[in-house]
Amino acid sequence: MEKRGAYIVAYGRSPIAKSNQTGALRYTRPEDVASEVLTGVLKQIPDFNYELIEDVIIGCAFPEGEQGTNLAKIIADRSGLPESVPGQTVNRYCASSLQTIADGASHIKAGHVNCVVAGGVEFMSRIPMGGGAFAPNPSLIKTHPESYMAMGITAENVADQYQISRQEQDEFAVSSHQKAWQAQEQEKFTEIIPVTAYLPDSHNQLVPSEFKKDQGIRPETDQNKLAQLKPAFKLGGSVTAGNSSQTSDGAAMLVLMSGELVEQLKLQPIAKFVDFTIVGLDPKIMGVGALKSIESLLAKRNLKPEEIDLFEINEAFASQAALAVKSLNLPSDKVNVNGGAIALGHPLGATGAILTSKLLAELGRRKEQTGVVSLCIGGGMGAAALIEYL
């Protein structure tokens, strides 16, 4: 074990809730759920002294309102961590929580710290896409209007430029739901930490209940039903509500330690965080960021796609996810094997850590070793991480 290597020793996620009026978490605060997940993750480490945690790094795409005021420190305090534990909130849109994991790993590798919590939370039922006070820069609109382009239009651009047909997108979406439903029925989502949800009773009083299953999966989804949906973003387009990710509520957390601390505490590490890459590209086709970041990561490590056991590629839209799968020639049984964001949902700032948790659980179940997590990012970016299961 490398003394300055970055090792994942615990992980978990909440179930993912819809963000609409039927959402299981719509009356529950994001920091409460995040702290419940963090508490559950920390309990996985036997006899762990929380004073060893040197930072809590939390990703959130719209850190305002209930997700504001340095959400990371609020979550640390809400979780009952010692006052000595600091916190920082990171925003890289959809890759926010993958960035927190990478940042934590980098701090460990550099020798700055020995233990960090990394993760993310986003409740789109409470703080919707765009936040509550969006104010675009007038000068930038004149020179770079694509910087504020709607995500759905970028998905249409990807479909048009790379010839990803409506049928391909719908087929991808159906597969996502089928995989997710099968995984749920077979109880494969072992990374889930049940959380407390508050919902109104017949007297309109909020009462607690246990929320333990992803809410967005639609097993009845098929090609015929998706074909009836109208384009959501462009007249005559191919991107619909059915082949796009769901807006959602959720949280996920991981604990990373240096090899030195792992040995000192006599722990068995779960995985090693090997490498990370971030790329920039034309915002008009931001969805290509997932593909470009994977290509960059594999080239950096001198690896071929077939040498990776499992991929978790975020399904912001079927057009961009299908493009990555098609371009890399990836078999279906190696990509999003338990469904993706089209079926499960995409709580923006939490998704990177959710995908990482899903990947770790499945690598362990299959007794396989290498995995890649990747996301496209609004504004024209992409991120990818390489993880080695131990």
Active-site positions read 94, 346, 376
Report the 10 Å Cβ neighbour count for 161.
15
Nearest to 6 by CA among 240, 252, 218, 260: 260
Contact between 92 and 381 (Cβ < 8 Å)? yes
Contact in structure between 151 and 316 (CB atoms under 8 Å): yes
Token readout for 374 is: 């990747």
- 3-class state of residue 236 by DSSP: coil
The residue written with tokens 């796609």 in the block is 305
Q: Tell me the torsion sign for CA atoms 293, 296, 300, 304.
A: positive
- CA–CA separation, 281 vs 220, rounded Å? 37
Query: What is the radius of gyration, based on Cα positions, of the chain?
Result: 20
Instruction: Report CA-CA distances (Å) from 183 to 361, 374, 384.
Output: 12, 21, 24
Nearest of 278, 287, 283, 358 to residue 327 by alpha carbon: 287
Measured distance CA(358)–CA(180) in Å, rounded: 11
